[in-house]
Amino acid sequence: MTWAEGQELPSLGKVVTLEQIAAYASASGDVNPVHLDPDFAAKSTFGRIVAHGMLGYAFVSEIMTHAFGHAWLESGKLRVRFRAPAYPGDQLTTYGKVTKVTTEAGKTTVQCAIGCRKQDGQDIVTGDATVTLAS
C-alpha cells in the first residue's frame, strides 16, 4: 500500500473492562492494587480502579499493526505521552494520521501522529509512531 501525508489510519474502538484490566495485570506482572483492588483504588487519587496506561498504548500499537502489518512488528517505533486515566466502562477510540513520508535508499519511512481517546473526547495517550517499509 502507498501511504500519503494526511492519510488517516484505521481506528479501533474498545470498551475497558475489569476482566481486561485483570488479564493485562496478569500478562504484564503489574499487579498494583490501584488496578485490581476496589477498596485500595477508592482511596487513591483516581478514586476507583484505573486501567493500566500501557493498555491504551497497546491499543495504539494494535492499529499500527492493522495498518502496517509485519513492517510495524519488525521496525515500528512508538513514543507516547500518557495524558489521562481510563476507567472500567470507558469507551476508547484509537486514531492516527500520516504526518510525513520519506523514501531513501530503497526504504520508505512513514511517520504518524497517533492517540487514544475516551468517549468524552479526552485523550488518554498521544504520540508519534514511525515505521519503515521496504519500497
> How many Cβ atoms are within 10 Å of 46's Cβ, its own excluded?
14
- Helix (H) or strand (E) holding 24, with range, is helix 18-28
End-to-end CA distance of the chain: 10
Do residues 87 and 16 lie in contact, with contact meaning Cβ atoms separated by under 8 Å?
yes
What is d(CA 63, CA 73) in angstroms, rounded to the nearest whole number? 12
Can you give the pLDDT at residue 106?
Answer: 87
Can you give the pLDDT at residue 2?
Answer: 86
Burial of 62 (0-12, 13-18, 19+ CB in 10 A): middle
Write out residues in the chain with pLDDT < 70, as ranges.
135
Can you give the pLDDT at residue 1?
Answer: 75
Q: Which residues pair with 130 in a beta bridge?
A: 77, 111
Do residues 7 and 98 lie in contact, with contact meaning Cβ atoms separated by under 8 Å?
yes
> How many Cβ atoms are within 10 Å of 52's Cβ, its own excluded?
20
Task: Give the chain's domains with CATH numbers.
Answer: 12-134 (3.10.129.10)
Can you give the pLDDT at residue 118?
Answer: 97
What is d(CA 121, CA 112) in angstroms, rounded to the nearest whole number? 20
- Reported as a single tens digit per residue, the pLDDT across 64-74 is 999 999 999 99
**pTM of the entire structure?**
0.89
